Amino acid sequence: MLSYQHQYHAGNLADVHKHALLATMLDRLAQKDKPLTYMETHAGRGLYDLGSAEAQKTGEAGAGIARIERLGWFAGDHPYARALAAVRARHGADAYPGSPLIASELLRPDDRVLLAELHPQEQAALAEALLPYAAHSRKVDGLAMAIAQTPPEPRRGLMLIDPSYEVKADYEALPALIGQVHRKWNVGIIALWYPILADGRHRQMLEELRALKAPKAMVHEVRFPPARAGHGMVGSGLYVLNTPYGTEDEARRLSALYARL
Ligand SMILES: C[S@@+](CC[C@H](N)C(=O)[O-])C[C@H]1O[C@@H](n2cnc3c(N)ncnc32)[C@H](O)[C@@H]1O
């Protein structure tokens, strides 16, 4: 039973972290004149309305992307800012792109985009959000898709794994799955987002990821004030293997910015 809905959280400080680094990596990959595959195991609905009752209820986007834009963290030519501007131009000032739309805006017509979203309503919304693009989504289990579709064609590419961590088993299954996908697709970039919760629940998973000793692995974490009193999430983490050149510079820049919040 899936109950998580990203529309309550879209554009929060964790999304800013994850989406800024994702956009940086995709932009870097798209500079090379060779097609690539972008895969996402937990795609969400792709397009969010920050004026919706859900977004207003939590206020997370207000304390997230709205505040960050007032602080001017991203110049107009930053790939995250470019994706935001393109989606707002299509859908209005309150629109916020999820990762599938960030990728769709930054990638080229010859690139292949494979998206899994298991929740029927979220998947239907995603299919509609993707209509202007060449990307397609499937109502399948993203972790099964990760195994079934690797190595993909084109072989160059990136897989984002962004679970909702509704069950403890999510943490336990991921290191082995990432190891398996990496063995099948040794050139693929794999990025895993995880929440940093006050109880440190992610630490065991991170130890197991480090034990994979994958090439060019990066762990980047930022901390921020909880969205509201008692909220468990106090930071955002991204584990990446085969990290594209230049990503660590952007990660360092973000570390300095988050430290000032
Ligand atoms: C954190 S949200 C994704 C947000 C999105 N990646 C973004 O950054 O815009 C996680 C999504 O995964 C979906 N989900 C949960 N388990 C799944 C599974 N096994 N396979 C595919 N999707 C799943 C949920 O319905 C939810 O929409």
Tens-level pLDDT at each residue, the chain (261 residues): 678 889 999 999 999 999 999 999 999 999 999 999 999 999 999 999 999 999 999 999 999 999 999 999 999 999 999 999 999 999 999 999 999 999 999 999 999 999 999 999 999 999 999 999 989 899 999 999 999 999 999 999 999 999 999 888 889 999 999 999 999 999 999 999 999 998 899 999 999 999 999 999 999 999 998 888 778 899 999 999 999 999 999 999 999 999 999
Cis-peptide into 225, omega within 30 deg = no
**By the 8 A CB rule, do 44 and 91 touch?**
no
123 phi and psi, to 5 degrees? -65, -40
Q: Whose CA is nearest to atom 3 of ligand 1?
A: 44
Q: 162 an active-site residue?
A: yes
Residue 167 pLDDT: 82
DSSP H/E element including 25: helix 13-30
Q: Does residue 46 sit in helix, strand or coil?
A: coil
Query: Judging by beta carbons within 10 Å of its beta carbon (0-12, 13-18, 19+), is residue 56 exposed, middle or buried?
Result: middle
Task: Tell me which residues have their CB closer than 6 angstroms to ligand 1.
Answer: 2, 4, 6, 18, 41-44, 98-99, 116-119, 122, 141-143, 162, 164
User: Rounded to the nearest 10 degrees, what angle do helices 13-30 and 79-91 cross at?
Assistant: 110
pLDDT at 166: 85
Kindly name the residue from 49, 162, 170, 249 that is annotated as catalytic. 162
Answer whether 97's CB lies under 8 Å from 18's CB: no
Domain range annotation of the chain: 6-259
Ligand 1: centre distance to CA 218 (Å): 23
Instruction: Quote the CA–CA distance of 85 and 94 in Å, as a whole number.
Output: 11
**Predicted pLDDT at 231:** 81
Give 6-259's CATH code, choosing from 3.40.720.10, 3.40.50.150, 3.40.50.10490, 3.40.640.10: 3.40.50.150
CB 111, CB 89: distance < 8 Å: no
Beta-sheet strands, E only, within 87-132: 95-97, 112-116
Query: Tokens standing for 124?
Result: 């239907």
Probe target for ligand 1 pocket from 6, 236, 238, with the most ligand atoms within 8 Å of CB: 6
Q: How far is the CA of 123 from the centre of ligand 1 (A)?
A: 9
- As to burial, measured by CB atoms within 10 angstroms (0-12 exposed, 13-18 middle, 19+ buried), residue 141 is middle
